[in-house]
Amino acid sequence: MNPPLPRPLAVVHETSYRYDAPVELAHHLAYLRPRDDAGQTVEAHTLTISPQPADIQQSLDDQGNWRSTFALSAPHEALVVRACSRIVVRPRHEGLEPADGMPWEEAALRLRYQAGAPYAPEAEYAFPSPYVPLHDELRDYALLSFTPGRPVAEAAIDLMRRIHADFTYAPASTQITTPVLEAFESKRGVCQDYAHVMLGCLRALGLAARYVSGYLLTQPPPGQARLIGADASHAWLAAHCPGLAANGGWLDLDPTNDLIPAAAHVTLAYGRDYGDVTPLRGVIRGGGGHELTVQVTVMPWNEAPETLLSP
């Protein structure tokens, strides 16, 4: 029997700012269009902004992520940015054999600078980054999984499971500015903290790992309707495992949920850490204080009401 065809998903991400005073001038950068790659196809995407800017520029950054830039020069007391995407997601790691591939020590050695050696693009993700500095505590924690000669994928999966077991998911317990070592020591946080901690563990061993921002299709409790706007954006990571055939050797790992992402994870963008791919950020003049509201809905396209999909 042939496997069922993947179902298109609807992802609606709406961000609203309400300012205490008029904003006179604003420049914004958004990462709100999902990637097109071997694991997913974006069949449709719309970005609606109110008040409407005079011009929106969309381009690919150096990692192949879609980014949008826009400016608002007229005074405004509110900003609403709404992204709606129709996406087909396919499992990325079918037939995965974690014991295959290169021992982790050899993989780390390949990423060190050696005169005359060929450049390895994944080496860009082996260094510390603003949100993920290197710490001995993270290296020591990782070494409990990365025993001598163990393949990268097998050890990384073990590390993912340990983080999931040792940490407590606690909404509002941290902020995006919470240092990674503080989150590690408290063993509490949200998905960004889980991802940053595991990135710090892998990079402390000299391995390459990148931050992945995206969305997760969740299921409502039995007998209850799916709630609109009740989801949130999600974050996980991908470790580079030389010797794995699929996905260029990049293995997606979700330590928050202790699983290898498949057809329920929608990839938005990837970078060194959260700071590279913040969904929406900007510089404004004026405004005073503000109130921020973010609503995210992920659901099968055929279940999405027309009111959700309309701009």
CATH number, domain of 250, equals 3.10.620.30
Band of the pLDDT at 124, cuts 50, 70, 90? very high
Q: Would you state the pLDDT for residue 1? A: 41
End-to-end CA distance of the chain: 40
- Domain contains 48: yes
Q: Are residues 86 and 142 in the same domain?
A: no
- Domain contains 3: no
Which is more confidently placed, 228 or 22?
22
Q: Which of 175, 171, 215, 192 is nearest to 83 (CA)?
A: 215
Section 112-136 average pLDDT: 90
Q: For residues 201 and 90, what is the distance between their CA atoms, to the nearest angstrom?
A: 28
Q: Would you state the pLDDT for residue 108? A: 95
Q: For residues 71 and 292, what is the distance between their CA atoms, to the nearest angstrom?
A: 19
Owning domain of residue 33: 8-90+277-303
Q: Which of 129, 78, 70, 74 is nearest to 282 (CA)?
A: 70
Entry pTM: 0.93
CATH number, domain of 85, equals 2.60.40.2250
Q: Would you state the pLDDT for residue 260? A: 94
Mean pLDDT score of the chain: 91
Cα of 112 vs its chain's centroid, Å: 26
Beta strands in 73-131 (DSSP E): 76-89
Task: Give the whole-number percent of the chain exceeding pLDDT 90.
Answer: 73
List, for residues 200-237, the tens digit of each pLDDT value.
999 999 999 999 999 999 887 777 776 655 678 999 99
Which is more confidently placed, 287 or 86?
86
Q: Are residues 27 and 166 in the same domain?
A: no
- 10 Å Cβ neighbour count for 144? 12
Q: Would you state the pLDDT for residue 5? A: 57
Q: Are residues 119 and 241 in the same domain?
A: yes
Phi, psi of 144 (to 5 degrees): -65, -25
List, for residues 177-204, the tens digit of each pLDDT value.
899 999 999 999 999 999 999 999 999 9
Domain count, the chain: 2
- Domain contains 213: yes
